[in-house]
Amino acid sequence: MKRALTPGTFDPITAGHIEIITRASRTFDEVIVAVAASPKKNPLFSLDERVALAREALKDVPNVRVEPFTGLLVDFAREMEATVAVKGLRAITDFEYEFQQTALNYQLDPQLETIFIMSSPEYMYLSSSVVREIASYHGSVEQFVPACVNEALQKKFA
């Protein structure tokens, strides 16, 4: 079985994330959406909330499961018996950051391969931080996120 991880903070999960995860699910037998605790990022949603939202958003993708993690990605990948990390790329700035992370992960565990999937043009501008900002000003984000996330954002910023 070829198992991959798609790691991220997912604060919150967006249509862009879902697109990358769904595309990865067509390539691998199983995709584990690895929701990072990321306390240094001061997430809007708790780890449990982010996991629950991702599970709801991805419930119709049969070979995808969502798991929380803390610590190093390479350790979590070993624990999950995943051999590939799938990362989405939107722009050259994503590449620079992901390139650095991939090099570090390779030094920590050369057995963990990283594969990049380019975002579709319709999602190249989309990020969780943009979604949070729009929602914080009570702007509509329903075209950028699943219904469960839209509802959760409305409650957070009510």
Strand partners, 89: 118
Residue 66's pLDDT band (boundaries 50, 70, 90)?
very high
> Amino acid identity of 126?
L
Q: Is the pLDDT of residue 93 over 80?
A: no
Q: What is the per-residue pLDDT across 36-46, written as a single tens digit (0 to 9) for each? A: 999 999 999 99
> Residue 148: what pLDDT?
98
Residue 157's pLDDT band (boundaries 50, 70, 90)?
very high
Helices marked H in 15-91 — which ranges? 15-25, 47-57, 73-80
| Percent of the chain scoring above 90 in pLDDT | 95
| Nearest C-alpha neighbor of 150 from the set 22, 65, 56, 59 | 56
Q: Which residues are catalytic?
A: 17, 41, 90, 128
| Cα(135)–Cα(57) distance, integer angstroms | 18
| Bond prior to 12 in cis (omega within 30° of 0) | yes
| Cα(45)–Cα(67) distance, integer angstroms | 15
